Amino acid sequence: MKRRKNNNITRSFTVTKQYRQGAGEIFLEIIAGGINDNETPEKAIIRELKEETGYCCESNPILMGNYYCNPAIQNNKIYMYFCNNIKKISKQSLDDTEDLEIIEIPFNRIDSYIQSGAISQVFSVAAINLAKRYL
């Protein structure tokens, strides 16, 4: 994601740092969440971005693709969006079960985070690699 600061463009990825019970570890992940009833995937990412970070996207999110997670045993899809020119408009509005920190990773360092395993969640790795064509 690009983020504007004082009319300067900062090429960076905004990720969250949070504990994941299933793996018992802390992960750096893209902004993500579920789609509520009567909500489009685009509206869901706009809502999740604001809730998890307090940021808004100054332009419409760009759908990078939608993909099955594990079609052998599941029928759910994930929708990956690129949000350009995000800016802080409010405080985080987290659910009671959420405890996450916002991390900004410069574009020129993102590959080292993936290669070192600092970013290891597959959806995040895929979305970051798709987003590179927009930066």
Q: Residue 2's pLDDT is what?
A: 45
Residue 80: what are its φ and ψ, rounded to 5°? -105, 125
Q: Residue 65's pLDDT is what?
A: 96
Q: Residue 50's pLDDT is what?
A: 95
Task: List, as one string, the DSSP characters of the chain.
Answer: -EEEETTEEEEEEEEEEEEETTTTEEEEE-S--PPPTT--HHHHHHHHHHHHHSEEESSPPEEEEEEES-TTT---EEEEEE--SEEE-S-----TT--EEEEEEEGGGHHHHHHHTSS--HHHHHHHHHHGGG-
What is the pTM (predicted TM-score) of this model? 0.87
What is the full per-residue pLDDT of the chain (135 aa) written as tens digits? Answer: 444 455 566 788 999 999 999 999 999 999 999 999 999 999 999 999 999 999 999 899 999 999 998 999 999 999 999 998 888 999 998 888 888 999 999 999 999 999 999 999 999 999 999 999 987
Has domain 2-134 been given CATH number 3.20.20.210?
A: no
Give the domain ranges of the chain: 2-134
